[in-house]
Amino acid sequence: MRVNITIFIAGDSTAAIKIPEKRPETGWGEAFQAYLSETVNLDNRAINGKSTKSFIKEGHLKAIERSIKPGDYLIIQFGHNDQKLEDPERGTQPYGEYQQNLLKYVQVAQSVNAYPLLLTSVSRRNFTGTMIDEQSVGDYPRAMLEFAKHSNVPVLDIHKITREFLNTVGEEKSKDYFLHVAPGQSENYPDGITDNTHFNEKGAAIVAKLIAMEMMESNLSIKNFIELPR
């Protein structure tokens, strides 16, 4: 079947395709193709470690601008690395440069009659007591929601739905979805790793499904290209 549109993902490591040396770390974007119809090509441009600022500065948004065409979609999801204010190459103020940068992504899509779609950042697995800390990604999810409202740009609150999912499965079971590797379990992490930001394959698959379901339940045109596997 002929591919009619492309869905681009501009984002960070939570969505990105991983090199073999990073496995079992997995980005949700790697699992997302399973929820797209045959007429859709997924072009995952998300990159580990990038913020709205560094993604632009290193030319990655410009590369998308050269490729995106009318009718395509540009999914925009950043926040985890914008949060790193101690790093001048990446850190942005949530209600300042972060929102200004989001506008640049939106304008790239709109300039060619493509569709921008903002996704708030996935939640970190930061429990305080029995519940996930709503500030696990700082003010960036709220800043994106505010920007989307004022700019009349579609947004899906993925931070909220991933936080709710983690709260439902609980502190202990939620470890099964993140990069928690015991010593000696993986050649890539011989000393083990406990990472409450990045997903393993199981976690990426769940997040991709949650995002697809949120799209299907929305009133956005992208829902027409989502198919839940049977």
Instruction: List per-residue pLDDT tens for the chain, 230 residues long.
Output: 567 899 999 999 999 999 999 999 999 999 999 999 999 999 999 999 999 999 999 999 999 999 999 999 999 999 999 999 999 999 999 999 999 999 999 999 999 999 999 999 999 999 999 999 999 999 999 999 999 999 999 999 999 999 999 999 999 999 999 999 999 999 999 999 999 999 999 999 999 999 999 999 999 999 999 998 77
DSSP structure string for 70-106? TT-EEEEE--TTTT-TT-TTT---TTTHHHHHHHHHH
Cite the beta strand spans of 133-189 per DSSP E.
Answer: 155-156, 178-181
d(CA 146, CA 143): 5
DSSP structure string for 142-155? HHHHHHHHHHT--E
Instruction: Indicate the class that CATH gives domain 5-225.
Output: alpha beta
pTM over 0.85: yes
